A and B are shown apart, each in its own frame.
Chain A
Amino acid sequence: MRTVYFKNKPKIIATSTIAGPKECSGSIGKFFDTKLDDDMYGETSYEKAESRMLFTAIKNSMIHAKKNETDIDAIISGDLLNQIISSTFSARNFDCAYLGVYNACATFTEALTVGSAFVDGGYLNTVVCAASSHFASAERQYRFPLELGCTRPPQSQWTVTGAGSCVLSLSGNGPHISCATIGKIVDYGVTDANNMGAAMAPASACTLDRFFKDTDSSPGDYDLIVSGDLGTLGSRILKDLIWEKGYDIEKQHVDCGELVYNIAEQEYQGGSGAGCSALVFGSYLYDRLKSGKLKKIVLMATGALLSSVSTQQGESIPGIAHAVLIEV
């Protein structure tokens, strides 16, 4: 486990986001590019709606970057559905090379890391990195049917309906990715599939600790330390765990899951899902980076690597987190 440095500074030249009605009414809703009134998005199934959302996000990010399909060397994307069907089905619309990645909710920073490595190494010129999730399709895969009357436990999170895409390139303007810490899988034995914050927090603390050590920096050096979808409870655990390792991130830390909904809305711990970090980064954070209000942020998406099968077999939930440093 170590940090890789990108000397040629791959730049994020454009982003695009799309989100469902619930996300749009949240605290950063006004920053999203495409706001949907209906999370079916005119399709006949939630899976189709999710692929179409990802397709729209990728397409719009290409338009924002003023690139044609022929200029794009590869699309790297992932989502939460089995065999990442949303990503592959949306990619069949593009005449581009495609790489599918999956690290549950950490997919977005994984895609950014892989994309940056290709671009920095000079193997590919322009790469699109994207991730998506959809509340209804995730719910029916991981949990219960939507119409089943059951109470959500207070530690549960709400899967974000949304997709975010960004275009990485060496030429062009925009904030650049200067390094990435590839995380390792950490499992402390949490088995409660509703408590993903607690399952992911140890992995995020591990990655963040490694990141600070490798870059020889402290939390005060960054404007923001953004975690993916730990939620309120997971964020608290992360702060406690990283404090034990000698870092105080209280001032710099924000969580995409907490940002995306108004917490007063009873979403319990906030948002989750692969689309969560992609959506928040592609809209609000990118906007702030472009306008210079933020200069140096650590984006660390976290993933809970469970499946409905592993949960039923009583397995614990391994967590993972990948961090990327984004500077103006």
Chain B
Amino acid sequence: MKTSADCVNNNYMKYVSAVSPRTNEKRSLFRSFWVGGFICCIGQSVRYFFEYVCGLTGDELGAYVSMVMIFLGAILTGFGIYDRIGKYAGGGSIVPITGFANSVVSPAMEFKTEGFVYGVAAKMFIIAGPIIVFGIASGVLVGLIYYIGYRIF
């Protein structure tokens, strides 16, 4: 039986990539730069607020900043604003932690029609799941390597 690999017509693929439109390079980079930078500046403002007004420090400070940013990302997704930002900014809104919140909240809202157990709760991590899996797995790996390292040296 034919597989997808047998179907590949190299001449055609070359032709297609030659005629396919491309993303406007400079514009997309500029947009992702300023939006990404701007979101980080909001994060910095939140940081200053917790640092000087609430007097938090260290890990606690960082944790509260990310909580607030995730909240902002979630609520903007709820109001249907974050996907507009994402359309405009591309990478500039995917990479900040608000983009992580968007990738959790958007499927949760989307699959509400399939119920709260199999819809919202189960589909919540269809996009963000890999981040948590790879994040925790790599964290454990780093911990183990350092643990062994500390015991040997």
A-side binding surface: helix, strand, loop or mixed? Answer: loop
User: Does B106 lie within 8 Å of A147, measured CB to CB?
Assistant: yes
Tell which of B7, B103, B110 touches A146, judged by Cβ atoms closer than 8 Å: B110
Residues of A within 8 A of B16 (CB): 190, 195, 198, 237
**Binary flags per residue of B107-119, CB closer than 8 Å to A gives 1, else 0:** 1011101000000
Tell which of B4, B23, B77 touches A147, judged by Cβ atoms closer than 8 Å: B77
**B87 interface residue (CB < 8 Å to A):** yes
**B51 interface residue (CB < 8 Å to A):** no
User: Does B99 lie within 8 Å of A149, measured CB to CB?
Assistant: yes
User: Does A148 lie within 8 Å of B20, measured CB to CB?
Assistant: no
Which residue from chain A places its CB closest to the CB of B84 in the assembled complex? Answer: A149
**A21 interface residue (CB < 8 Å to B):** no
Given the known interface contacts A154-B21, A195-B20, A233-B20, the answer about A189 and B106 at a Cβ–Cβ threshold of 8 Å is no
**A152 interface residue (CB < 8 Å to B):** yes
Residues of A within 8 A of B8 (CB): 188-189, 316
Q: Indicate the member of A44, A47, A146, A152 with the most B CB atoms within 10 Å.
A: A146
Given the known interface contacts A148-B106, A233-B19, the answer about A191 and B86 at a Cβ–Cβ threshold of 8 Å is no
Q: Considering the chains assembled together, what is the distance between the CA atoms of A45 and B102 in angstroms?
A: 21
**A42 interface residue (CB < 8 Å to B):** no
**Binary flags per residue of A10-50, CB closer than 8 Å to B gives 1, else 0:** 00000000000000000000000000000000001111000
User: Does A151 lie within 8 Å of B110, measured CB to CB?
Assistant: no
B residues contacting the other copy or chain, number (CB 8 A): 38
Q: Considering the chains assembled together, what is the distance between the CA atoms of A325 and B105 in angstroms?
A: 48
**B53 interface residue (CB < 8 Å to A):** no
Residues of A within 8 A of B23 (CB): 151, 153-154
Which residue from chain A places its CB closest to the CB of B110 in the assembled complex? Answer: A145
**A315 interface residue (CB < 8 Å to B):** yes
Q: Considering the chains assembled together, what is the distance between the CA atoms of A151 and B91 in angstroms?
A: 9
User: Does B82 lie within 8 Å of A149, measured CB to CB?
Assistant: yes
**B22 interface residue (CB < 8 Å to A):** yes
User: Does B21 lie within 8 Å of A146, measured CB to CB?
Assistant: no
Residues of A within 8 A of B129 (CB): none
**A155 interface residue (CB < 8 Å to B):** yes
Q: Considering the chains assembled together, what is the distance between the CA atoms of A187 and B106 in angstroms?
A: 34
Q: Considering the chains assembled together, what is the distance between the CA atoms of A153 and B28 in angstroms?
A: 11
- Whole-angstrom distance between the Cβ of B33 and the nearest chain A Cβ: 15
Given the known interface contacts A44-B113, A149-B94, the answer about A315 and B4 at a Cβ–Cβ threshold of 8 Å is yes
User: Does B7 lie within 8 Å of A189, measured CB to CB?
Assistant: yes
Interface hits, A206-264 → B, CB 8 Å: 233, 236-237, 240
Given the known interface contacts A155-B21, A188-B9, A233-B20, the answer about A149 and B4 at a Cβ–Cβ threshold of 8 Å is no
**A309 interface residue (CB < 8 Å to B):** no
User: Does A147 lie within 8 Å of B82, measured CB to CB?
Assistant: yes
User: Does A189 lie within 8 Å of B12, measured CB to CB?
Assistant: yes
8 closest A-B pairs by CB: A149-B86, A189-B8, A145-B110, A147-B106, A316-B4, A145-B106, A187-B7, A188-B9
Q: Please report B residues at the A interface, Cβ cutoff 8 Å.
A: 4-5, 7-9, 12-13, 15-16, 19-23, 28, 77, 80, 82-87, 89-90, 93-94, 99, 102-103, 105-107, 109-111, 113, 127
Q: 15 A–B contact pairs at CB < 8 A?
A: A45-B113, A140-B111, A144-B127, A147-B102, A149-B87, A149-B99, A149-B106, A150-B83, A150-B86, A151-B86, A154-B20, A154-B22, A154-B23, A233-B21, A236-B19
